[in-house]
Structure 1
Amino acid sequence: MAGRVFGLGTILGLALLAFGLPVQAQTPFYSADAAAIAGGAPGSLIQNVRHDVPAFGASKYIVLYRSVGLKGEPIAVSGMVFVPPGQMPAGGWPIVAWAHPTSGVVSKCAPSLAYFGNEQVQGLEDLLRQGYVVTATDYPGLGTPGPHPFLVGDSEGRAVLDSIRAARELIGGRSPNATLWGHSQGGQAVLYAADLAPSYAPDIKLLGVAAAAPATDLAKLMNDDYPTAGGRNLLAMALYAWNQVFDAPMDEVVTAEAIGTVDALAEVCLESLEDLLPRLFDGHDLMKSFLSVDDLTSLPPWKALLTENTIGALPTATPVLLVQGSADQTVVPDVTAEYMSGLCQAGSHVTMQVLLGGTHYEAAREGYPYFIAWLNHLQNGQPVTDNCP
């Protein structure tokens, strides 16, 4: 996510230091013609390629699979699938679908193109060692031709669910169940996937959904984060993306002086050290001049778009794990607590894991052991903690 919805800025330097190198060049693999895209059901594979270097003793595949666009049209989505070593059990391997935090808003910013894309999947090594297949969607418009529907819940959610179908096909069509796991923007993605699953993907037996510092109440998060350079930096990415995807009139809410900065920021990924300096300088420029309106969240079409992409209640049969750092200044604890309260009131069973002193960046990096423990309890038919009153 772009933290405090749009402000991943407080952890930007740490994220860039973690990944270190720029993205790799795109190849024709990420493009498919209209006939190929329309030639199968959502989640079916268009093509895949196995990487020569195994990840943690597993097999890594870059995949291109079919999904559904914002207007119901067939689209292609790219991503990664990691398969454990050894013989597959008779009933198949269970699947964990990972959804990544914000990596950018243009095609070159796909995690599958990053040199250290494996390391971005939190808990990957432990999950593979315990016999889980792991999927990692890029989301529509990242890797594949854009635009990327940034923070658009239905788009992300379908891509996550279809990555499970693609992985299932890749391993021979057998898998007993799937679990969703995401961070920040990816937290929003998996929550939407859980909401969509009964109607969009009834063929998937969903075990549960886990979200670390998820983007929930978009308008509140945006307003909270707007005073910071990091927040403005990534709000610019959101405005650019929604202008591209929904034709929302960005020039009516952004000053003339800031338009060029917004366009420039859209071309910079959050993948490498070389991205850090332009984001720092452009964030500083946006502190001088950015929005030309007092309250973007009250104006059409932005108000409606924020509301439409704010997740609500989930199917109550789906267990929920929320992981939240107590020192998170990007997605503040009160916002996640409020979302949990709404889930509890709607009848969901929610486990809340608070990481004392944990930051936004650490929510998934330090929180994944709690996710795996929760997941294994569900996998073994054991009860999990319900923190709802």
Structure 2
Amino acid sequence: MVLAALAALSSATSIGPASAQPGTGTEAGAIVSSRVLAEAELIPEAAEGYRLVYRTTGQNGEPAVSGGTIYVPSGTPPADGWPVVSWAHGTSGMTQGCAPTLNGGMADTFDETPQLSSYLAQGYAVEATDYIGLGAPGTYEYLAGRAAGHAVLDIVRAGHALDAALSKSFVAAGHSIGGQSALAAAQMWPSYAAELDLRGTVAYAPTSNVEDVIAALGRPGTPALPSLDGLHARLVMILAGLDHARPDVRVTDYVSPHGQRVLAIARAGEECLGALEAAVAGQPVGLLFSAPLADPPLMAALRDYLSVPTTGHHRPVLLLQGAADKVQPLPTTVLLHQQLQRGGADSRLVLHPAADHFTLLPTAASDTQTFLAGVLPAH
């Protein structure tokens, strides 16, 4: 997103990870409520499933809850339980009820259901978090890395507590913002959920290296950027999330009266993404701002909030990227791969020349299947 956004612009004019242990009923991974899915609620290749609310940990270490949905494949589980893909979804909205598993699998305009069904067909249980605030009470903080990563890990704890046939062995996987979430989960795993057995991470076009573009675009006078799919609305969602997670940096001091109105639309979440996208369509990005975001304290808070951790990865990472992606363009993921390798990660990057942000998932199916079979065989 960084290079593409800067190009479009020029052509147009720590709070540390929390520590938690399951087991008391009030700790991370404990189940608040659960029910068996009705047959009509199951996705293709799922033999059974569960809807649950479970305890997790927010961005700043505070107790929280998340919703989630678990799908179980058909057949007899292996002796050590069903291997798990802990799935982190893409952008879907800002308010409770906007999780893809509550909306026919839809993340924005993309149906994630075939992706989840493909994991089930290979013999993996799928545990799909909603993140905090999208499927249970709470405030969603868009792209808050630690909050989302905690939810990815804690649904594995909750799944095993709910059904012992669901293994503690898992791969973290996600698309777009979910790729960022999966990478955050993998990096926090040793300190936050070491009793789980993480085997690897799959990140499809993960959101990364967006801080500089936010600084460049976040100022009065920035024009409309029609060539970048959905960037304007997502910038508003980032500001709303950062404002909630870090009130100390006073995000709203940088936002114009127009920007305040748009933030209110994002927080209200009408039509999940629809009302926000309509509100910013065709509008100059600079109308959001009364002052530039490129202020050192604010930028430090932003980096702490959403940067992908590139050190401390102890399991293999597979990055998948389409060269035709306009949402998270190729150079950002190439840079992420280099950063991960410099940080000591066993990172592999696979490029698909014709794939865009959404066609990447089916296009990369064989890469994913090979990786999963190598790190966590299903049979």
Task: Give the TM-score category using the shorter length.
Answer: 0.7 to 0.9
Instruction: Indicate the SS of the match to 1:112.
Output: helix
Query: Is structure 2 residue 61 aligned with structure 1 residue 72?
Result: yes
Query: Is structure 2 residue 92 aligned with structure 1 residue 103?
Result: yes
Alignment of 1:350-361 (within 5 A): 350-361=347-358
Query: Is structure 2 residue 124 aligned with structure 1 residue 132?
Result: yes
Equivalence for 2:9: none
What displacement does 1:219 show?
0.6
Equivalence for 1:282: 280
Query: Structure 1: how far apart are the matches of 2:294 and 2:135?
Result: 30
Alignment of 1:1-389 (within 5 A): 39-52=25-38, 53=40, 54-56=42-44, 57-116=46-105, 119-121=111-113, 123-172=115-164, 175=167, 177-223=169-215, 228=225, 230-247=230-247, 248-268=249-269, 276=274, 279-287=277-285, 289-294=287-292, 296-380=293-377
- 8 Å CA contact 1:101, 1:182 repeated in 2: yes
Instruction: Indicate the SS of the match to 1:86.
Output: coil
Specify every segment of 5 or more residues in structure 1 that has no aligned partner in the other structure, as ranges: 8-36, 382-389
- 8 Å CA contact 1:97, 1:180 repeated in 2: yes
Comparing both structures, which one devotes a greater share of its residues to strand? Answer: 2
What displacement does 1:330 show?
1.9
Query: Structure 2: how far apart are the matches of 1:144 and 1:264?
Result: 20
Query: Structure 1: how far apart are the matches of 2:275 and 2:141?
Result: 25
Instruction: Indicate the SS of the match to 2:69.
Output: strand
What displacement does 1:95 show?
0.4
Which stretch shifts more, 207-216 or 246-255? 246-255
Query: Structure 2: how far apart are the matches of 1:212 and 1:270?
Result: 26
- 8 Å CA contact 1:38, 1:74 repeated in 2: no
Instruction: Indicate the SS of the match to 2:33.
Output: strand
| TM-score, normalising length: structure 1 | 0.80
- 8 Å CA contact 1:218, 1:306 repeated in 2: no
Query: Structure 1: how far apart are the matches of 2:264 and 2:178?
Result: 24
Q: CA distance change for structure 1 residues 155 and 126 in 2, over 3 Å: closer, same or farther?
A: same
- 8 Å CA contact 2:53, 2:66 repeated in 1: yes
What displacement does 1:336 show?
1.0
Query: Structure 2: how far apart are the matches of 1:130 and 1:334?
Result: 31
Q: CA distance change for structure 1 residues 65 and 307 in 2, over 3 Å: closer, same or farther?
A: closer
Q: CA distance change for structure 1 residues 96 and 4 in 2, over 3 Å: closer, same or farther?
A: farther
Specify every segment of 5 or more residues in structure 2 that has no aligned partner in the other structure, as ranges: 6-22
Counterpart code for 2:283:
D
What displacement does 1:252 show?
1.5
Q: CA distance change for structure 1 residues 63 and 174 in 2, over 3 Å: closer, same or farther?
A: closer
What displacement does 1:198 show?
0.7
Identity %: 28
What displacement does 1:258 show?
2.8
Q: CA distance change for structure 1 residues 345 and 47 in 2, over 3 Å: closer, same or farther?
A: same
Counterpart code for 1:80:
T
- 8 Å CA contact 1:109, 1:269 repeated in 2: no
Instruction: Indicate the SS of the match to 2:167.
Output: coil
Instruction: Indicate the SS of the match to 1:177.
Output: strand
- 8 Å CA contact 1:156, 1:189 repeated in 2: yes
Query: Structure 2: how far apart are the matches of 1:363 and 1:269?
Result: 29
Counterpart code for 2:262:
T
Counterpart code for 2:156:
I
What displacement does 1:72 show?
3.0
What displacement does 1:341 show?
0.8
Query: Structure 2: how far apart are the matches of 1:368 and 1:122?
Result: 11
Query: Structure 1: how far apart are the matches of 2:118 and 2:309?
Result: 31
What displacement does 1:325 show?
0.9
What displacement does 1:225 show?
6.8
What displacement does 1:55 show?
2.1
Query: Structure 2: how far apart are the matches of 1:137 and 1:265?
Result: 21
Please provide the CA RMSD for this pair.
2.9
What displacement does 1:287 show?
4.1
